[in-house]
Chains A and B, each alone.
With several copies, the nearest count.
Chain A
Amino acid sequence: MPEDDLYREIILEHASHPHHHGTVTSATHTTEGRNPVCGDEIALSWNEKDGKVSDIAFDGTGCSISQAAASILCDSVIGLPTSQALACARSFRAMLVEGTAPEDDMSDMAALQGVQAYPARVKCALLAWNLLAESLEAEEQSHD
């Protein structure tokens, strides 16, 4: 086995000790979704304050990829303006779907790049990220 392109240390670490696991109290936003292939579900809850994601958490169970991706998501967008959080979700999506190289500021997100080589698992990595993107996009549109 070559150096692991999927189950990197950092992923396993996030999966076994996820950050921001649980629900945000009195969240301004909640959303949940299911990966239809496996039936796994993830729920996101966050607080938006002054146009920023002031707090965020995820709940639900699933494979290590989906859990790590959700944990990394929370780490990555907490404190960001919502527009930047959305941009972040879009870069992540582009990295996995279109194969775009990860940007410099993607930090732990880039660790999931290896998922691209596992078509059946892309849905896992995107589960939480798609939920966030869809929710922020819907919000953006309603502001237009």
Chain B
Amino acid sequence: MTTSAHPLAHFDVQEIRKDFPILNDGTRTRPLSYLDSAATSQKPAVVLNAMHDYYVHANANVHRGVHELGDAATSRFEHARHRVARFLNADPRGLIFVRNTTEALNLVATGIARQGGLMASDRVVLSVLEHHSNIVPWQLERSTHGFAIAAIPLHPDGTLDMDEARKLLAPPTKLLSITYQSNVLGTVTPLKELIAMAHEAGILVAVDGAQRVPHARVDMKDLNCDFFAMSGHKVYGPMGSGILWGKPELLSSMSPFLGGGSMIDTVTFERTTWAELPQKFEAGTPDVAAAVGLAAACDYIDSLTYEAIEAHEKDLMQHLLHMLDSLPYIDVYGPNDRERIVGAVSFNVRGVHAHDVGTICDRHGVAIRVGHHCCQPLMRHLGVPATARASVAAYVTHDDIDSLGEALADVASIFGQVITQHTSPASQMEHRHA
């Protein structure tokens, strides 16, 4: 099914699917409805080809060569940096290539704490929405530097308690590190408001943008955060690609993260001085192919346009939420205003363990994610051990969502007896006769 109904008529999802080799894998014996892009997206051929092209025409170590391949590799690597910086409307000097969001957030935590920027009397503020990769790095630094960690609490529907946020964005808080979009609930945090509040109180803001960049244009100048982390592999880019962006003046005054080649100026056993940005934070041989692949992913997104992706995904989410809300045995998590659920939605089949739901979906060729989604504090807030999560991307179709619907009906028929115990007879009837 194409999405020809939506305003951007030139966006043809069937054409887009042709760009993704894995969606056209002739060796598969059953269909694939990939609704797990929030974990990692599939990669278009242009991204795979860009990496292959690098290996076949330009592979060498960067920054150190005076030979042709070294020049070619360096120029592709730095071109990739500028391309991604342009994509984020960011100063390229502050753009550091990392493996993933996790490494990016560890870089910020270590760089600040090691420099003495987080001491026993200081506080870091997170939120209950956070992914483990925005919790554990701070705890690891806390074990050495002894600062406090506090978390902005949530309302029952999973939205941030902004009154509590306001209270926490005050001394002794030095830094707020917060997600832009929840990987569990699909909700977008009021980031500009939080950043303004934090900056007013002289508090730095680090943003976990892993789940935002796949769905909407992010603009560093406009957002005005201090640090921004993202994973390339979630935005149609290769595994092993990710970005930390930071304001150059902040990165310059921070301690380096990893030590090694390329990030130094002079080395003696007594004392070592650092290279300029961005090299200071890129120790050792970088994954040039991953950077080149990520730049190709930026090209790919821009060729589709975020406007079209957003319109398409909005249409998909409406279809998905409508389907879920129509099934009486499904609990959807997040705000009642379904418009606020973007890109991904979490749910459970009442009385059935999420892993059983996941396995049955898989048997229908529907790939969803089940578990705690690396968000154990949020699971505790929701009062569930796990949820099932379906997420969308440019290549997802209504058919994929309909397949999920069929799989969920199958869950209901396999676990019918269990579900009956958890659902009112009336709504149960409704489903049975649907």
Contacts and interface: CB of A to CB of B under 8 A. Distances in A.
Interface string A1-17: 10010110000100110
Interface stretch (B17-25, B312-320, B351-359): B351-359
A1 B407 CA distance: 11
B306 interface: no
Contacts of B359: 6, 118, 120-121
A64 interface: yes
Nearest to A118: B359
Contacts of B385: 38-40, 61
Interface of A: 1, 4, 6-7, 12, 15-16, 34, 36-40, 61-65, 118-121, 124
Contacts of B354: 63
Nearest to B276: A36
Contact of B75 (A36, A64, A119): A119
Contacts of B66: 118, 120-121
A64 B417 contact: no
A110 B170 CA distance: 60
A125 to B, nearest CB: 12
Interface string B268-296: 00000001100100000000000000000
B302 interface: no
B355 A38 contact: yes
Given A39-B372, A63-B356, A12 B75 contact: no
B31 interface: no
A92 to B, nearest CB: 20
B278 to A, nearest CB: 13
Given A40-B385, A119-B71, A7 B355 contact: no
B422 to A, nearest CB: 11
A16 B417 CA distance: 8
Contacts of A61: 385
B300 interface: no
Nearest to B351: A16
A40 B417 CA distance: 22
Interface residues of B, number: 32
Interface of B: 63-66, 70-71, 74-75, 265-266, 275-276, 279, 352-356, 359-360, 362-363, 371-372, 376, 385-386, 410, 414-415, 417-418
Contact of B63 (A37, A39, A40): A37
A63 B355 CA distance: 6
Contacts of A118: 66, 359, 362
Contacts of A15: 418
Nearest to A121: B359
A17 B65 CA distance: 28
A120 B417 contact: no
A38 B265 contact: no
A120 B356 CA distance: 11
A120 B410 contact: no
B417 A12 contact: yes
Contact of B353 (A1, A36, A64, A119): A64
A36 B415 contact: no
Contacts of B74: 119-120
Residue among B65, B265, B353, B363 with most chain A CB within 10 A: B353
Contacts of B75: 119
B371 A37 contact: yes
Nearest to B416: A12
21 contacts: A6-B363, A15-B418, A34-B265, A36-B265, A36-B275, A36-B279, A37-B63, A37-B64, A38-B355, A38-B372, A39-B372, A39-B376, A40-B385, A61-B385, A65-B355, A118-B359, A119-B71, A119-B74, A120-B74, A120-B355, A121-B355
